[in-house]
Amino acid sequence: MTDNFNITRRNILASAAFAGAMAPVIGAATAHAAGETKTAEKALTPAEIAALPRVKVELAKPPFVHEHAQKAVGGPKIVEFTLTIEEKKMVLDDKGTEVHAMTFNGSVPGPLMVVHQNDYVELTLINPDTNELQHNIDFHSATGALGGGGLTIVNPGEKAILRFKATKAGVFVYHCAPPGMVPWHVTSGMNGAIMVLPRDGLTDGHGKELAYDRVYYVGEQDFYVPRDEKGAFKKYDSAGDAMVDTLEVMRTLTPSHIVFNGAVGALTGDNALKAAVGEKVLIVHSQANRDTRPHLIGGHGDYVWATGKFRNIPDVDQETWFIPGGTAGAAFYTFEQPGIYAYVNHNLIEAFELGAAAHFKVTGDWNDDLMTAVLAPSSI
C-alpha cells in the first residue's frame, strides 16, 4: 500500500463518533449470534433449520437474473449464495472517465438474488487478500441490527457466512456498510438488490396472478469523480489515493455521473434489454443512495410497486414512479408495440446529461389501432 493510502485509511477509521456509535450495536449483534435467542413462536429450532433442504444458486450478472421459480415449490429452504468482493477500476463513459469501484461479484450493481418469503438466505461473503479495504453487507430485507452488517465485517483475506430469514416479501437493497465508510463504499458501486417473492407468486392485490416472461435488474448508481483545475476528470492509482478528493465531491451532493448498470450506455445499443410484443416484463430498479423517477418512454407501468413491497396493492397504469433512495422498486409491463423504448430516470438532466438511461428493443408487429402516422412530416 502507498503512504497516501495509509493516510487515507487512518482518516477513514478516524470517524470516531460514527464508529463509537456503531460499536454497541455491532457488539450486540455478535453476542446475539453466539447464543440462543427465543423470538417469535413460529421460529424454527437450530435442528429444524439444519434439516431444511438446501439450494445453491449461481448468480447472474445484471441486468440478467438467475433461474428461479415464480411460485415456491414445497416448504421453506436454505438458499445459498456467494458474493466475492472485487475492488476494480471501471470506465464510466466514452471519454475514458475512470472510477475505482467497489463491487459485489465484479459488477455495478451486484447481482439480484431471488428467494421466496420465509426461505432462509445463507450468504458467503468473501473478501480476497488481493483487496485493500474492509467490507461487509447490510441487507435491507433482513431483520436484525445493521441488516447483518455487524456479523459480516471482513478484512482482506477473510470470509463470513450470514444466514437470515426472508420474512418480508418485496425487492430490497443490499449494500456495503463498514463503520465510518458507508457513503464512500455505496457511491463507489457496492450495492445490489434481493427479491423476496410471495410463496404463491405475484398478484395484482385483487386475486389476479401476475406471471412474468422476463425479468431485468436495473441498478442506478451515482458516482462522484473529482476534476482537476482545468475541469478534466482526474485519475488515480488506487481507491485510497482517490478517497480524500472523492469525499470532497460527495459532500457537494452533486454527482458527476448517474448511470444504469455501471456505465453510460451500459444498457443501450448491443446491450439493450430485449423483449417481444405480448411479453410480460418485470423491471426491478434499485437506487441505494438517491431518489429516482423511472419512466418507460412509449410504455407504462401496468403494475408498479414503487417502494418494492409485494404485500402492498400495486399502483396501475403509471407513467412515472418514484423510488426513494435506499429502496428497490418493481414495475410489471406487457409490451404492445415493437420498437426502441427508452427507459430513463425522468429527471431528464440526469438521464440525458449524466447517463441514467437504458433501451428496450422490442420485436413484433405494429398495431395501427394503438398508434399511426395520420400525416407524415411534410411541407405546410
Catalytic site residue 243?
no
| Residue from 82, 268, 320, 334 carrying the catalytic annotation | 320
- Choose the catalytic residue: 100, 116, 135, 285: 135
Task: Indicate if 138 belongs to the active site.
Answer: yes
Of the candidates 100, 116, 140, 257, the residue annotated as catalytic is 140
Tell me, yes or no, if 319 is annotated catalytic. yes
- Please indicate whether residue 66 is annotated as part of the active site: no
Catalytic entry in 100, 116, 175, 285: 175
How many CA atoms lie within 13 Å of 250's alpha carbon, on the beta-carbon side?
18
**Contact criterion met (CB below 8 Å) for 265 and 355:** yes
Annotated catalytic residue within 130, 319, 363, 371: 319
Residue carrying the nine cell digits 428496450: 360
Annotated catalytic residue 190? yes
Identify the bridge partners of residue 84 per DSSP, sorted by sequence position: 126
- Check if 295 is active-site: yes
Determine the Cα–Cα distance for residues 50 and 346; give it in Å rounded to an integer: 47
| Neighbour-count burial of 268, counting CB atoms closer than 10 A to its CB (0-12 exposed, 13-18 middle, 19+ buried) | middle
In this structure, the strands spanning 170-175 and 191-197 are antiparallel
Q: Which one from 116, 257, 285, 295 is the annotated catalytic residue?
A: 295
Write down the catalytic residue from 90, 190, 195, 250: 190
Catalytic one of 138, 241, 302, 350: 138
Q: Determine whether 359 is an active site residue.
A: no
Retrieve residue 325's grid coordinates.
433512495
Q: Which of 185, 257, 285, 300 is catalytic?
A: 185
Q: Give the separation between CA 237 and CA 260, rounded to whole angstroms.
A: 25
Is the separation of the CB atoms in 331 and 282 below 8 Å? yes
32 is catalytic: no
In the residue annotation, 195 being an active-site residue is answered as no
Please pick, among 22, 102, 113, 176, the residue that the annotation labels catalytic. Answer: 176
Q: What distances in angstroms separate CA 191 from CA 220, 221, 289, one per listed residue?
A: 10, 9, 9
Q: Which residues are catalytic?
A: 135, 138, 140, 175-176, 185, 190, 295, 319-320, 346
